[in-house]
Amino acid sequence: MAENLGSVYAEFRLSLEKLKGDIAHAKAQLRTAAAVIENMGQEAAAKAKKRMQNVSDTFTQVGAAMTGVGIGIAGALGAAVKTTASFESAMSRVKALSGASDEELKKLTETAKRLGATTAFSASQAAEGMQFLAMAGYNTNEIIAAMPGLLAAAAAGQTDLGRTADIVSNILSGFGLAASETARVADVLTKAFTSSNTSLEMLGETMKYVAPVANAVGLSLEEVTAAAGILGNAGIQASQAGTALRAILLRLADPPKEAAKALEQLGVRVTDSSGKMRPLKDILADLKKGMEGMGEAQKAAIASTIAGTEASAALLALLDAGPETLAKFTAELENAGGTAERIAEEQLNNLSGQLTILKSGIEGMALSIGESLLPFVKELTGFVQKLVDSFNNLPEPVKQSVAVFSALVAVLLLIGGPLLMLVGFLPNIAAGFTVASAAMAGLSATVAPLLPL
């Protein structure tokens, strides 16, 4: 019996050992399976996440590109409309200031556009120049005739267009010249300030004081400008030159007693047989001849007697330069046609100048686009204005209802926006697969120790 028990126990031990081996084998297989499942889960999660991220990135890139293109186009069209609206407003002011008719405004507008396409100035700047001429009393035809010369003078002198218009119009008025003579004025001034120690601004100041008097005594624009250039070389410029020349001309035309006596002693003839003042160069020639052999102090005293104390330095400067210099410079100014335009073009013959021309061309293109869009924009603006007027005329209870409805729409938009933003969270959904695979691995790790019970 003892042998039987021993046999039974031995068999039991063998069976137990076999069971333990089977359990260990099963545990190992389960761990292997868990590892496979974990790897599969991680791989699937990674693939899903990558696909989701690719989809999200694609939508983001396409959306950004579409948004950028849309913003760019909208911005360009908006800029074109704004440019056109500003130009239209400027031309409306020209019409108001000049009293132009609708047909005349059309001519002025076409002129501004043409000048904007062919000069360093844009159409809007040309419109600004027209405003200054209109304020000076120019009519439509005078403005159209004066604009090319005005722009050429401003470009050559690199002077503000408004100031240039003021200078040129004052000189035209001072010498009694027609608006069609604007190009002549521009050429004479440009030749003068590019050949002497002056500037357009300085010459404008000089002419402000001397032009009316010079015109009254019969001197030409060219002769007076030449004298101003010579004085500029002597350091007598701007208003100082203008007041000095004015004093000299006035005292020559109607000399005080002592001045008349000095002129007679020197043998100077101020007027010709018809009573008209002789050219300034001829008067200076007589003065210089009469002063031959005199000392510097005596010359200064006579100059003070003839021109007055303040203007004596200017008279001496003209005498020192000599009548020949004045005559030569005057002749150069009389043949200065085309100078302003040539100088303006030469100053544009560089990168900066080309960029200036390009800028004017771009504005011209913007005006073309804007003019096509302007009727639609005006119609849309009118429609919106009608809506605003209609709302303002509604009874108060109705206004309140509209306000409540608008608030509801705003709330819906606020809710709808975040919902659409969920598209951007697609990669986060893929990340959930990674979490799930980790949970599966944890489950297998928990179950395995329970098996060898």
Residues in the chain, total: 453
Q: Tokens representing 349?
A: 């013959």
- For 234, counting Cβ atoms within 10 Å of its Cβ (0-12 exposed, 13-18 middle, 19+ buried), the class is middle
Nearest CA-CA partner of 299 in 281, 322, 315, 283: 315
287-327: per-residue pLDDT in tens? 999 999 999 999 999 999 999 999 999 999 999 999 999 99
Whether the CA torsion 390, 391, 397, 401 is positive or negative: it is positive
Q: Tokens representing 396?
A: 């108060």
Which amino acid is present at 236? Answer: I
Say which residues have a Cβ less than 8 Å from residue 79's Cβ, sequence separation at least 6. 366
Residue 1 and residue 45: Cα distance in Å, rounded? Answer: 64
Residue 453 and residue 450: Cα distance in Å, rounded? Answer: 6
pLDDT tens for the chain, 453 residues long, are 545 545 655 665 666 566 566 666 656 665 665 565 556 556 655 665 566 566 556 555 655 555 555 555 555 566 667 888 888 899 999 999 999 999 999 999 999 999 998 888 999 999 999 999 999 999 999 999 999 999 999 999 999 998 999 999 999 999 999 999 999 999 999 999 999 999 999 999 999 999 999 999 999 999 999 999 999 999 999 999 999 999 999 999 999 999 999 999 999 999 999 999 999 999 999 999 999 999 999 999 999 999 999 999 999 999 999 999 999 999 999 999 999 999 998 988 887 766 766 776 677 677 667 666 667 666 767 776 776 776 677 787 766 776 666 666 655 655 555 544 544 544 554 455 454 445 445 545 554 454 444
pTM: 0.69
Domain ranges of the chain: 99-349
